[in-house]
Amino acid sequence: MRSICAKKARRIPIIPIRAFVDIGGVHEWTEAEATSQGKHWQPGYFCWPFENIRTVEPGIKAVVKRRIYTIDVADMLPF
């Protein structure tokens, strides 16, 4: 007899989007920035300055992912 095992399916979190932003560039995270934020600095991290921040009320529900990503919201908008 042969059996097939699989990992338990993970629940994919869905949360409301609260804002849309444009990314204004990228730069290495500096020790001065970390200090001003009260954080411990480590090399190898990057910062993306946000521009043109547009809040969304009420929030639009979307699947949560790590990192920065693009979503198609055309079907989610109420208008």
What are 7-49's pLDDT values in tens digits? 555 666 777 888 888 888 889 999 999 999 899 999 999 888 8
Q: Residue 60 and residue 16: Cα distance in Å, rounded?
A: 5
Other beta carbons within 10 angstroms of residue 12's beta carbon come to: 8
Specify the residue for token string 């908008």: 77
Which residue type occupies 1? M
Tokens of 3: 């059996």
* Least-confidence region, from 44-53, 56-65, 69-78: 69-78
**pLDDT confidence bin for 63, thresholds 50/70/90:** confident
Non-local (6+) Cβ contacts of 31 within 8 A are 41
Can you give the pLDDT at residue 19?
Answer: 83
Predicted model pTM? 0.52
Q: Region 52-79: what's the mean pLDDT?
A: 73
